[in-house]
Amino acid sequence: MEYKAYKLLFYINAQHSIDNSLENAHLHTFSIGLHLEDKIDDRLIDFNQVSQLVNNYLEQYRGVFLNEMAAFKDLIPTIEHMGNLFYDELKLILTELSYDLIQLDISENPLQIYSVSDRLYFGNILYEGALS
């Protein structure tokens, strides 16, 4: 079986604090990688359309102190909590365009990456049903 997916990268600059205090806030350039599958056979991805939708969603998180955002009212904005939130919300947005968000990778530096998916997918290996 042939499997095809796209990976798009996005960046946001934002501050967060692990202890929820503004005085310990620090800035990151968060990297967000989206692995997408097109639900419509033989269609080429519309990179401009997907990028515009994703950037419009991410705009609310750019240049802010994440701890003060309503989305993180009861959570510390770690890459795990950010990744889970972004995955759930972007999955819904992309489904409207007939794209399936397979996996979201988020990192605050190149050596620490958190991945979230509803199936096991790493790079070019897809294990459908592995979590069933």
pLDDT at 57: 98
Using only C-alpha atoms, what is the Rg of the chain? 16
113 vs 3: which has the higher pLDDT: 113
Q: What is the mean pLDDT of the chain?
A: 89
d(CA 19, CA 42) in angstroms, rounded, equals 48
d(CA 11, CA 108) in angstroms, rounded, equals 10
Read off the pLDDT of residues 12-63 as tens digits, 9 standing for 90 and up: 999 999 999 989 999 999 999 999 998 887 788 889 999 999 999 999 999 9
pLDDT at 44: 83
Instruction: State phi, psi for 131 to the nearest 5 degrees.
Output: -95, 5
Average pLDDT over residues 51-78: 96
d(CA 92, CA 114) in angstroms, rounded, equals 20
Position 1 confidence tier, pLDDT thresholds 50, 70, 90: low
**Is CATH 3.30.70.360 what the domain over 6-127 is classified as, yes or no?**
no
Strand partners, 14: 28
pLDDT at 5: 83
Position 132 confidence tier, pLDDT thresholds 50, 70, 90: very low
User: 70 pLDDT exceeds 80?
Assistant: yes
Alpha helices in 10-122 (DSSP H): 47-58, 79-95
Average pLDDT over residues 72-101: 95
Average pLDDT over residues 99-128: 81
CB burial of 61-90 (b: ≥16 within 10 Å; e: otherwise) equals: beeeebbebeebeebebbbebbbbbbbeeb
Strand partners, 37: 100
Q: Is 90 helix (H, G, I), strand (E, B) or coil?
A: helix
pLDDT at 123: 56
